[in-house]
Copies of this chain bind each other. A is one copy, B any other.
Amino acid sequence: MQEITDKISDAVIRRLPGYYRYLGILEADGEDRVSSSRMSEDLGLNASQIRRDLNCFGGFGQQGYGYSVGKLKIEIERILGLDRKYSVVIVGAGNMGQALVKYYLSGKKAFIIDKLFDTNPDLVGTEVAGVPVMHLDELSKYSADNPIDIGVICTPKEVAQVVADALSKANVKGVWNFAPANVTVSANIAVENIHLNDTFRVTHEKLVTRTNRVNKLFVNSL
Contact across chains for B103 and A209 when beta carbons are under 8 A apart: no
Q: How large is the interface on A (under 10, 10 to 19, 20 to 34, 35 or more residues)?
A: 35 or more
Which label, helix, strand, loop or mixed, suits the secondary structure of the A interface? helix
Contact across chains for A204 and B95 when beta carbons are under 8 A apart: no
Contact across chains for B111 and A202 when beta carbons are under 8 A apart: no
Residue of A202, A205, A213, A219 most packed against chain B (CB within 10 A):
A205
Cross-interface CB contact of A190 among B1, B79, B150, B211, cutoff 8 Å: B211
Residue of A103, A110, A194, A210 most packed against chain B (CB within 10 A):
A103
Minimum Cβ distance to chain B for residue A17 (Å): 4
Interface string of A184-209 (1 = CB under 8 A from B): 00011010101111111111111111
CA distance A214 to B156 in the complex (A): 30
Residue of A187, A208, A218 most packed against chain B (CB within 10 A):
A208
Looking at A48-56, A131-139, A173-181, the stretch in contact with chain B turns out to be: A173-181
A63 at the interface (CB under 8 A from B): no
Given A111-B200, A188-B214, A188-B218: A180 touches B17 (CB 8 Å cut-off): no
Given A99-B95, A103-B94: A210 touches B190 (CB 8 Å cut-off): yes
Please list the 3 inter-chain residue pairs (A to B) with the smallest Cβ-Cβ separation, ordered nearest first: A95-B99, A190-B207, A17-B198
Contact residues of A with B, CB < 8 Å? Answer: 1, 4, 6, 8, 13-14, 16-18, 20-21, 79-82, 84, 86, 94-96, 98-99, 102-105, 108, 110-111, 149-150, 156, 173-174, 176, 180, 187-188, 190, 192, 194-215, 218-220, 222
